[in-house]
Amino acid sequence: MAALTKRSTVYLDPILHKALRLKALETSRSMSEIINEAIRESIAEDAEDLAVFDKRANEPLINYEEMVKRLKKDGRI
C-alpha cells in the first residue's frame, strides 16, 4: 500500500463485502487495493466523459421530438 494513505469507513452491502473479500483472497490483493483501483477507474471514466462533453459543446442542440423523427427516419425505432 502507498506510504501516504487515508483511513476511511465504508459501509458495504453484505453480499458485496463477501464478494470483495473472496476476490481479495483469490487475487492475493487487499480489499483496499481493489477498492482504490475501482475508484481510480471510475474517476478516469468520468474524466473521459467530461472530455467528450467539452469536445461536443459547440454541436447544435436538437429537441426530443426531432431526435425521435431522426430515429424513425433511420429505421432505428
Q: What is the DSSP string of 15-43?
A: HHHHHHHHHHHHHT--HHHHHHHHHHHHH
Q: Is the pLDDT of residue 3 over 80?
A: no
- Return mean pLDDT, the chain: 94
Q: What is the pLDDT of residue 2?
A: 59
Q: What is the pLDDT of residue 74?
A: 96
Amino acid residing at 29:
R
Amino acid residing at 20:
L
Per-residue pLDDT, averaged over 16-27, amounts to 98
pTM: 0.67
CA angle 16, 43, 48 (to 5 degrees): 130
The domain segmentation of the chain, as residue ranges, is 14-73
pLDDT digits (tens, 9 = 90+) for 38-76: 999 999 999 999 999 999 999 999 999 999 999 999 999
